[in-house]
Amino acid sequence: MMPERTMNADLDKFPEGFIWGAATAAYQIEGAWNEDGKGESIWDHFSHQPGMIENGDTGDVACDHYHLWKEDISLMKTLGLDAYRFSMSWPRLLPDGRGRVNQKGLDFYSQLVDELLKAGIQPLVTLYHWDLPQALQDQGGWPVRDTALAFTEYTDLATRHLGDRVKFWATFNEPFVSAYIGYLEGRHAPGHKDLGEMLATAHHLLLAHGWAIPIIQKNIDSAEVGIVLNIGPQVPASDSDADKAAARQLDGIINRWYLDPLAGRGYPDDVVQHYSLPLDFIQPSDMEAIAVPIDFLGVNYYTRGVVRSTEIPESDNAPRVIFPNLVKTEMGWEVYPEGLFDTLVDIHRDYSFPVLYITENGAAFPDHIDADGAVNDPQRVTYLQEHLLATARAIRDGVPVRGYFAWSLLDNFEWAHGYSKRFGLIYVDFQTQRRVLKSSARWYQQVISGNAVVDA
Ligand code: IFM
């Protein structure tokens, strides 16, 4: 935990032009899973199988944003957002993954962008936030190289249609999560558990990113392009060599496996050795393509990892470090704002991407509507406050963080947890689709208008 402190006007001020935003993703909010010609995605498919999602929830309706997008944009306007990060649903545009275009899908995003711009809100589009067209999964999905090619066709279509109005483009959201949880742990779509598939997936996601960047730049003169990674420090649970090695390994698996190739260093040797599988899916010039220069790196930060070796029995290991006053969110994730500061400083020192955006940061807590109709979420306010103070400190130390996107604008479908975890600044009653601004939203509104972290 960061030490308690009061707000100080100078220290908590953000640079002029700092971008204040909020983020969502298509499958988590849109609903309308099979409306107006949309094709099935791997998340439609996965969530429709019994037992995959808590309470049997699905994204079929979600926040019904496909129909309520106007109301949602007016809420964004109320908050005073400078920018809104959302993802496009690939199968809404290309129901079969490639080829046949669904004009109604294009129209949906086109009108969304127009309305955002009318409200003075910059769109930042993520092209892929996990909802691969099922038709491509049926042909092998991400472990198959051709899927990366299909992604470039989708990128071309999306950027040709929206490039006159959308300047900020992120190719992928959290490729680690797509690859590791979807293809190795099996807790996310498509629910596979295969190390070889996971490695090929990770490579093809990065390759698709590398191939897509020049296409976006060709279609849009002034495009700002990047990719979004989930990054967090992985620290040893004790001073034992075994724990230190385990932490280093997890840092390699989660962070360096993506950062190193994007920065032109190839896959980290220590992790290649750890996997000890042939990486025979890598073809000549792939690594060069992946290392294409980008304008920004998006950083999604929620927590750190405290890592203990499983190689030696606990009794033989060094005494475990005790983390006092450990506060957790409803996800069971430690609240550790200092980790955001460390992450920003470390990435800047080790990789020097031109600009960093915090593309996601936020917390799930068990919110409810009080008798007076209000939703009070002081824990979320504290979480956001502390993380913003950490961000301000990193900026003062020279890290080029240019914007912050709270996760999430709305309570939404939290993947395998369904609707049981609420991350929103705005409460959603999933029975009625009524939206209620939480106290954190009101607080964020003041932060944005003052361009500074303020007291609750
Ligand atoms: O909801 C997710 C989001 O889709 C990706 N980043 C983490 C969030 C919270 O788990």
Question: How many angstroms from the chain centroid is the CA of residue 282?
Answer: 26
pTM of the entire structure? 0.97
Q: In the predicted model, what is the mean pLDDT of residues 174-178? A: 98
Ligand 1: centre distance to CA 302 (Å): 9
Domains belonging to the chain, first-starting first, are 9-450 (3.20.20.80)
Q: Is 169 in the pocket of ligand 1 (CB under 6 A)?
A: no
Name the residues annotated as catalytic: 174, 360
How many other CB atoms are found less than 10 A from the CB of residue 280?
A: 9
Q: Is 411 in the pocket of ligand 1 (CB under 6 A)?
A: no
Q: pLDDT of 353-366, one tens digit each?
A: 999 999 999 999 99
* Count, residues in the chain: 456
Q: Is 347 helix (H, G, I), strand (E, B) or coil?
A: helix
pLDDT of residue 323: 65
429 and 369 Cβ atoms separated by less than 8 Å: yes
Provide the pLDDT confidence category of residue 4 given band limits of 50, 70 and 90.
very low
Q: Has residue 2 got a pLDDT over 50?
A: no
Provide the pLDDT confidence category of residue 319 given band limits of 50, 70 and 90.
confident
pLDDT of residue 9: 60
Q: Is 27 in the pocket of ligand 1 (CB under 6 A)?
A: no
Residue whose Cα lies nearest atom 10 of ligand 1: it is 414
Q: In the predicted model, what is the mean pLDDT of residues 1-12? A: 56
pLDDT of residue 193: 98
Please report where in the chains the tokens 């496909």 appear, as a residue: 66
105 and 92 Cβ atoms separated by less than 8 Å: yes
Q: pLDDT of 284-318, one tens digit each?
A: 999 999 999 999 999 999 999 999 898 777 777 77
Q: Is 131 in the pocket of ligand 1 (CB under 6 A)?
A: no
Ligand 1: centre distance to CA 361 (Å): 9
Opening angle at CA 32, ends 31 and 34, nearest 5: 130
Please report where in the chains the tokens 């609420």 appear, as a residue: 422
Q: Is 194 helix (H, G, I), strand (E, B) or coil?
A: coil
pLDDT of residue 322: 63
Q: Has residue 397 got a pLDDT over 80?
A: yes
As beta bridge partners, residue 84 has 22, 123
Nearest to 189 by CA among 250, 136, 226: 136
Ligand 1: centre distance to CA 300 (Å): 8
Q: Has residue 98 got a pLDDT over 90?
A: yes
pLDDT of residue 110: 98
Q: Is 300 in the pocket of ligand 1 (CB under 6 A)?
A: yes
Ligand 1: centre distance to CA 202 (Å): 18
Considering the chain, what is the average pLDDT of its residues?
96
Looking at ligand 1, which atom is closest to the CA of residue 28?
4
